[in-house]
Amino acid sequence: MLLPLLPLPPNDCPNTGGVRALRVWPASNVRPLPLDPGSNLLLPVQLIDPANYADIWFQPDSASFEEPEADDAQGAFYKAQLQLAVLRDAPDLQAAIARLRAVRYFVVAYADGNGLSKLVGTPTHPLRLSAGLETGKKPGDRNGYPLVFAGLTPRPAPFTLLQPTGAAPVRRAFSSGFSFGFK
């Protein structure tokens, strides 16, 4: 069977890299997603508690997403990984990172440099957070936490209509309502 070739975007199509906004939910707060392989999420994300999320502010031009495909005995899977840098170590940031670590499993939405959004992870295939403090050696080095949300998923992250707006560039631990009181 031959697959038809699809036209590529024209040369004048803008293409801007990077991640511009990021919203995270505890995986237990997201209802199962009705997705078939290769489909996009055209319905809103169904949440148990719509106020239980965090918009994470990060250093501009420090965030990226990659999703290489791998293969094993069960078939193809994807190694999803979102990386970002939250700068300036301080007591409020340390407390916020500790609260994120307490959640353990996440579903993440991000908006890319082209204004498109994807939903990464699912309640059954969530992402895990790793964070560690880096201060650098010289005054010009970054001082803060590189955060990595990573996990294995059975399908590529779907595009979604959800548009995370990003957190305001102020030092707040989480969006109001972010809660860890799971039942």
pLDDT in tens, 113-128: 888 888 899 899 999 9
pLDDT of 128:
94
DSSP assignment string, 110-142: EEETTS-EEEE--SSS-EEEEE--B--SSTTS-
End-to-end CA distance of the chain: 51
pLDDT of 170:
45
pLDDT at 136 over 60: yes
pLDDT in tens, 5-51: 666 666 666 777 788 888 899 999 888 876 655 566 666 778 888 88
The model's confidence at residue 149, banded by pLDDT at 50, 70 and 90, is very high
d(CA 52, CA 113): 25
Please report, as a single letter, which amino acid is at residue 132. Answer: G
